[in-house]
A and B are shown apart, each in its own frame.
Chain A
């Protein structure tokens, strides 16, 4: 397990690379979901005003 985490001495480069990639992809997905919720809320508020 330790040998795996050590990545042949390159742990300081391999793990940040994967961590950064995961964070960026997750960030894109979270942003997309929040953006959709905000749009839905804005539309609902406008339509409620109408009624």
Chain B
């Protein structure tokens, strides 16, 4: 199926169908999520009203990690099969993932201050998420610095795949080291350990974030295709102009 949709025309058709669907799902889920987060969930018995920070902090952190996994997967597909679409996806995903990582860090900080008494602590979870942001930024800087598009794609893919190790560290940092950050309470082998009145708003918000990210990726991939066409046309024109000059001289 993947190779079926790696055809640019077919992919464009699929994206055109999915983009409005994702837009409606994202808006609907986020609207319901905001309602549940503020009006249909109780304050936490320990954390009081700051629990409402969780409903945007956790989805942002989850997207930061999921998008990095997607970036690494797309890079792997490009590296092995040389699909141009996989490289385009990697290029488009990176800045979106970086924004979600920034969001996770800032919302975490705004939650840490009232609950832990510190905006920031150099512990394993926070430091590894900061490294995740640096990997995203490094990836983007590397691509921007290399002039040759193919070289940028290939070198970027290697960096993105190597960076997956940090993703593992982010996930297990709360188990391997003692951290201010609480351990996993949603994605764990024995099931979620938070009450359904808090799990629902969190799940709906996370789903809304996911569809929004999906919308952003597909929408930007279509723009990317336009930009690549612009570049091809420009190159053709430059070549034609050069050929004309040579014919004259």
By a beta-carbon cutoff of 8 Å, the part of chain A in contact with chain B is: 4, 7-10, 13-14, 16-18, 20-21, 24-25, 27-29, 32-33, 35-36, 39-40, 42-43, 46-47, 49-50
Contacts and interface: CB of A to CB of B under 8 A. Distances in A.
A40 B229 CA distance: 10
Contact of A28 (B38, B96, B223): B96
Nearest to A16: B110
Given A8-B43, A43-B229, A14 B223 contact: no
A39 B111 CA distance: 39
A36 to B, nearest CB: 4
Given A8-B43, A13-B111, A17-B53, A32 B223 contact: yes
Contact of A20 (B106, B114, B223, B226): B106
A50 B106 CA distance: 49
B230 A43 contact: yes
Given A7-B49, A17-B53, A29-B216, A36 B223 contact: yes
| Tier of interface size on chain B | 20 to 34
Contacts of A13: 50, 53, 110-111, 113-114
B216 to A, nearest CB: 6
Main secondary structure of the interface of B (DSSP, over half): helix
Contacts of B60: 21
B113 A46 contact: no
Given A17-B110, A24-B99, A40 B52 contact: no
A36 B43 CA distance: 42
Interface in B58-102: 60, 96, 99-100, 102
Contact of B56 (A4, A17, A29, A49): A17
A13 B99 CA distance: 20
B118 interface: no
Contacts of A24: 99-100, 102-103
A17 B234 contact: no
Interface string B24-49: 00000000000000100001000011
Contact of A14 (B50, B102, B229, B237): B50
A22 B230 CA distance: 33
B230 A20 contact: no
Nearest to B227: A39
Contacts of A43: 226, 229-230, 233
Nearest to A3: B49
Contacts of B38: 4
B50 A46 contact: no
A51 B226 CA distance: 19
